[in-house]
Amino acid sequence: MHAPVLVLKDSLKRESGSKVQHANIQASKAVADIIRTTLGPRSMLKMLLDATGGIVVTNDGNAILRELDLAHPAAKSMIELSRTQDEEVGDGTTSVIVLAGEMLHVAEAFLDKSYHPTVICRAYNKALEDAIAVLDRIAMPIDVKDHDSNEWLTGRVEEDELDEFAKDDLVFDDDILTWGSVARAFGVEEERFNLRSRMGSLGQATGSSLSSQHAPHDGDEDDEENDVGYKSCDDNDDGATMLGLVKSCIGTKFTSQFGDLIADLAIDATTTVGVDLGQGLREVDIKKYIKLEKIPGGQLEDSRVLKGVMFNKDVVAPGKMRRKIVNPRIILLDCPLEYKKGENQTNAELVREEDWEVLLRMEEEYIKNLCDQIVMFKPDLVITEKGLSDLACHYLCKHGVSAIRRLRKTDNNRIAKACGAVIVNRPDELQESDVGTGAGLFEVKKIGDDFFAFIVDCKEPKACTVLLRGASKDLLNEVERNLQDAMSVARNILKNPKLLPGGGATELTVSAALKQKSSSIEGIEKWPYEAAAIAFEAIPRTLAQNCGVNVIRTMTALQGKHANGENAWIGIDGNTGVITDMKERKIWDAYNVKAQTFKTAIEAASMLLRIDDIVSGIKKKQAPGAGAPSKPTVETEADADSEQILPD
């Protein structure tokens, strides 16, 4: 009889076989159960205490899981799943966890019956391919080109109407734009100037369109224009559809009561930074070119999208440099406007007293030469990412040029995109084409205790700033998270303009189609395939549970309506729990979000099912000298003998 061979160290722990698979499934189900109640518009909130003692109150799946410190490797994998979904499409973080947990739950019965995990995974992959085909069949394409969308996104104002009020000045009262004053300037009742009109800078020096959105009124006014020429969203079905989609996303969030405002902010911001690449492709980089500026104070309704850039800086010499410039010429630099210092130590031998004056004169001439190269292009504003010396400040002030120094590179890139300037590394390489002339107004305003610089009213901005106002930092943080999701949904629609019904209707349609097709599948894969079809019903079932309605009756009624495969738009209203037509309620989901949810959930479930061995070990011991000092040990002769390995 052979003696057992020990391959692993005593400190390592190994689990294998069905025990590992069942443990992974239980851990994944536990994570799914944690955030299951945060799905839908009637979702619950989670209060989380982070490591620093701060409190986070949210119902965003990714934000919740990010704060959890879990030990099980399968649970950690589920958290990475949510993070991947958030980075890829920005929404559906809760749905992907719930769906993945349900896929693993229905697979547990087949593992108990000794089904091989590969068979289950093969059936799941077939179900995924067929589910994507169903999504392609029921998806509704919409047209979101700039020309069409701008008719409902931005209202048009005639030149003679624009001349009636001050073109150049923003109307500020206590550092907050007074919309009542703007309304009175137009001769419109203030209450008619509603939330969707409270966006963008109203007063463009170029006489271009007002950056606002007009909410449809009740009654017979839906199809009419109001007194200032704003069109209702209902005038364009595609625009209303896109707005409804973003509102459906916001409807499940904590800030759903401000759904109209946040949806308007998200759509306005994403359409501003969108770049048409041709052949029907659009690039929308919301992380790089949309900045969210949170300033506590005021009301959430005071939030707006600035057609330009806002940053927390003041001019270098506030008393001498202009703080307000109309139609500024802007030069952006990535170099210091000061005397170049030596790399390491620089030694200079001064023999005579005049040598010191020569050094000072050289420094002065060097800086003057830099400023002359800049002033040659007659700029109104110079912004540099590096330092700016007092001497350079003096020369710029002498020529009436305002300057801002030590600006972040990300903000500098946004300014370049907004006003059409080119960031230059050497002043002697400046050209006329590098000067930004697209901005309509530069202004420095004091909000609270800080000064903020505004470069707004840009002609064709490809970068913008969303200014968020609110009562507290906690509220602003939650609004920021919700707005990020809304902008991601709007970006997905601009990149792939297809819509799917919300309210669980898509999952029910996919489930019914897969059930019908499962009868034609031969072999042992038929049963896991049908189980995957049943797992898709977890989304509408969870919506019904969170609404507080009778889940069994609701699901039975929904399954009956979807049995023939013709009622693809029938789902559950997440607010009331009523079975209704999603098309009539304008409850939508983005195609990209739904397709990514299905792919990520099923692929993650397949990966966890194929794990049959977990080897875990303790952390490595600290090296001597690291952490607490170790006690000196005296090695004896017996210890030395015990460490020797002797051959048999």
Q: 203 and 272: one domain?
A: yes
pLDDT-derived band at 8 (thresholds 50, 70, 90) equals: low
Query: What pLDDT is attached to residue 439?
Result: 93
- Which one has a higher pLDDT value, 379 or 165? 379
Q: 543 and 413: one domain?
A: no
Range among 12-16, 77-81, 146-150 with highest mean pLDDT value: 77-81
Q: 26 and 40: one domain?
A: yes
Q: 131 and 200: one domain?
A: no
Query: What pLDDT is attached to residue 145?
Result: 57
- Which one has a higher pLDDT value, 280 or 548? 548
Query: What pLDDT is attached to residue 612?
Result: 85
Q: Calculate mean pLDDT across residues 3-17.
A: 69
**Cβ proximity of 505 and 251 under 8 Å:** no
Q: Worst-scoring range by mean pLDDT, 123-127, 252-256, 298-302, 485-489? A: 252-256
Output the CA torsion sign for 277, 281, 282, 287: negative
Query: What pLDDT is attached to residue 165?
Result: 34
Q: Calculate mean pLDDT across residues 106-120.
A: 93
Q: Worst-scoring range by mean pLDDT, 215-229, 383-397, 425-439, 589-603? A: 215-229
- Which one has a higher pLDDT value, 88 or 234? 88
What's the CATH number where 558 sits?
1.10.560.10
Range among 9-18, 363-372, 532-541 with highest mean pLDDT value: 532-541
Tens of pLDDT along 87-112? 888 888 899 999 999 999 999 999 99
Q: Is residue 533 part of a domain?
A: yes
State the Cα–Cα distance between residues 121 and 108, nearest whole angstrom: 12
Tens of pLDDT along 555-604? 999 999 998 777 888 999 888 889 999 888 888 888 999 999 999 999 99
Q: Calculate mean pLDDT across residues 256-261.
A: 78
Q: Calculate mean pLDDT across residues 390-405.
A: 93
Mean confidence (pLDDT) of the chain: 78
pLDDT of 516 above 70: yes
In the β-sheet with 464-470, what is the strand arrangement from edge to edge? 290-296, 464-470, 304-306
Q: 244 and 335: one domain?
A: no
Range among 354-368, 446-460, 487-501 with highest mean pLDDT value: 446-460
pLDDT of 11 above 90: no
Q: Calculate mean pLDDT across residues 453-482.
A: 90
H, E, C per residue of 305-327? EECCEEECCCCCCCCCCCCEEEC
Residue 256 has which token pair?
Answer: 């759903």
Q: 330 and 431: one domain?
A: yes
Question: Residues with Cβ < 8 Å from 242, sequence gap 6 or more?
Answer: 142, 144, 149, 267, 490, 493
Query: What pLDDT is attached to residue 188?
Result: 37
β-strand 12-16 against 330-333: which pairing, if any? unpaired
Query: What pLDDT is attached to residue 534?
Result: 95
pLDDT-derived band at 497 (thresholds 50, 70, 90) equals: confident
Q: Calculate mean pLDDT across residues 406-429.
A: 93
Helices (H) and strands (E) in the chain, counts: 22, 24
Q: Is residue 225 part of a domain?
A: yes
Q: 316 and 438: one domain?
A: yes
Q: Is residue 623 part of a domain?
A: no
Q: Calculate mean pLDDT across residues 180-209.
A: 35
Q: 506 and 561: one domain?
A: yes
Q: Calculate mean pLDDT across residues 622-644.
A: 46
CA-wise closest residue to 60 among 248, 244, 249, 290:
249
Query: What pLDDT is attached to residue 149?
Result: 39
In the β-sheet with 498-501, what is the strand arrangement from edge to edge? 140-141, 498-501, 588-590
Q: Calculate mean pLDDT across residues 238-263.
A: 71
pLDDT-derived band at 618 (thresholds 50, 70, 90) equals: low
User: String of b and e for 177-203 (b: at least 16 CB within 10 Å)?
Assistant: bebeebbeebebeeebbbbbbbbbbbb
**Cβ proximity of 106 and 511 under 8 Å:** no
Q: Collapse the DSSP code of 424 into the 3-class scheme (helix H, G, I; strand E, B; otherwise coil) and give the result.
A: strand
Q: Calculate mean pLDDT across residues 546-558.
A: 92
CA-wise closest residue to 269 among 305, 245, 301:
305
**Cβ proximity of 539 and 557 under 8 Å:** no
Q: Is residue 302 part of a domain?
A: no
Query: What pLDDT is attached to residue 2?
Result: 65
Q: Collapse the DSSP code of 386 into the 3-class scheme (helix H, G, I; strand E, B; otherwise coil) and give the result.
A: coil
Q: 167 and 237: one domain?
A: yes
**Is the backbone of residue 375 left (phi > 0), alpha (psi -120 to 50) or beta?**
alpha
- Which one has a higher pLDDT value, 533 or 491? 533
pLDDT of 306 above 50: yes
Q: 153 and 249: one domain?
A: yes
Residue 104 has which token pair?
Answer: 């693993």
What's the CATH number where 392 sits?
3.50.7.10
pLDDT of 364 above 70: yes
pLDDT of 171 above 50: no
Q: Is residue 294 part of a domain?
A: no
Residue whose token pair is 């007194």: 227
pLDDT of 388 above 60: yes
Q: Is residue 644 part of a domain?
A: no
- Which one has a higher pLDDT value, 582 or 199? 582
- Tally of structural domains, the chain: 3
pTM for the full predicted model? 0.70
Q: 29 and 92: one domain?
A: yes
Tens of pLDDT along 44-88? 888 888 778 888 888 888 888 888 888 888 899 999 988 888 888
Query: What pLDDT is attached to residue 617?
Result: 67
- Which one has a higher pLDDT value, 31 or 640? 31
Structural domain of 132: 12-140+502-609
Cα 627 to chain centroid, rounded: 40
pLDDT-derived band at 201 (thresholds 50, 70, 90) equals: very low
Q: Collapse the DSSP code of 444 into the 3-class scheme (helix H, G, I; strand E, B; otherwise coil) and give the result.
A: strand
Q: What is the DSSP letter of 243?
A: H
Query: What pLDDT is attached to residue 57?
Result: 83
Q: Is residue 561 part of a domain?
A: yes
pLDDT of 34 above 80: yes
Q: Collapse the DSSP code of 182 into the 3-class scheme (helix H, G, I; strand E, B; otherwise coil) and give the result.
A: helix
Neighbours of 301 (CB within 10 A): 14
Q: Is residue 325 part of a domain?
A: yes
Q: 128 and 184: one domain?
A: no
Q: Calculate mean pLDDT across residues 528-551.
A: 94
Q: Collapse the DSSP code of 384 into the 3-class scheme (helix H, G, I; strand E, B; otherwise coil) and give the result.
A: strand
Query: What pLDDT is attached to residue 5?
Result: 66
